[in-house]
């Protein structure tokens, strides 16, 4: 009878083989779960991380959604390895994943802020999608721009429920004056995934535009972010 006491687990050598493949074929050649494995190697230096990488993608639906998930939600994910043992995401690993998303968000913001926002619209859209498309609750943000239309500040004005975040036009305008902004872009998300503006969105935008106009503050656009894309009020003829 074969002695199993010294048998190596099936994943023995997997980490080095994956690293070798990443080096030889390049990181873009790896599927999402293997790219996630490479990162999890750092937080979980021992054991097979493939089941947890696949469980994360199954739970959240995409690599972007995994990285955008909250630390609390990440820690609810568990997976069973080939030996029947259940393993989960600990606080340290969850924080590492959240930090990776924050790095990506800051890089996107940096790209959006390098040139006037109006002339680098694609970079701006990439940034707001990175920041908001997987947010589980509605979030209302303002991008404050200077007289050259460069980004001064991206600030969360309010967080709400799954379908509503209260907005106070006077607070938006007051904050614009505090940071010496000359114009603003309104941004909020629809956790449902559909970025189509609602009647309440349209009414709220009109109130902000009216309050801003009284102080010669331009509102360039209102962007609604969903998993299905970004809707622009200006492009839709709503402002």
**Structural domain spans, the chain:** 14-101, 117-232
Mean pLDDT (whole number) for 94-107: 88
Residue 187 is predicted with a pLDDT of 95
117-232 CATH: 3.40.140.10
Across the chain, mean pLDDT equals 86
**Model pTM?**
0.72
Buried-exposed string 3-16: b where 16+ CB fall within 10 A, e elsewhere: eeeeeeeeeeeebe
pLDDT class of 2 with cuts at 50, 70, 90: very low
pLDDT digits (tens, 9 = 90+) for 112-127: 767 677 667 888 898 8
């Amino acid at each position: 009878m074969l002695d199993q006491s010294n048998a190596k687990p099936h994943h023995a050598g997997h980490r080095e083989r994956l690293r070798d493949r990443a080096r030889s074929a390049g990181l873009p050649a790896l599927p999402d779960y293997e790219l996630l494995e490479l990162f999890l190697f750092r937080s979980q230096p021992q054991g097979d991380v493939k089941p947890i990488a696949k469980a994360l993608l199954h739970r959240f639906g995409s690599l972007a959604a995994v990285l955008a998930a909250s630390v609390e939600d990440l820690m609810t994910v568990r997976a069973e390895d080939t030996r029947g043992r259940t393993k989960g995401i600990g606080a340290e690993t969850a924080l590492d994943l959240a930090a990776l998303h924050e790095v990506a968000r800051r890089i996107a913001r940096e790209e959006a802020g390098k040139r006037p926002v109006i002339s680098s619209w694609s970079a701006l859209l990439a940034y707001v999608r990175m920041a908001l498309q997987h947010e589980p609750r509605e979030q209302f943000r303002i991008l404050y721009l200077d007289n050259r239309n460069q980004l001064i500040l991206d600030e969360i004005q309010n967080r709400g429920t799954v379908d509503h975040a209260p907005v106070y036009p006077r607070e938006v305008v007051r904050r614009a004056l505090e940071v010496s902004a000359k114009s603003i872009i309104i941004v909020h998300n629809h956790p449902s995934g559909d970025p189509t503006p609602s009647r309440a969105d349209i009414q709220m935008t009109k109130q902000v535009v009216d309050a801003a106009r009284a102080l010669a503050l331009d509102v360039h656009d209102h962007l609604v972010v969903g998993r299905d894309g970004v809707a622009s009020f200006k492009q839709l003829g709503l402002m």
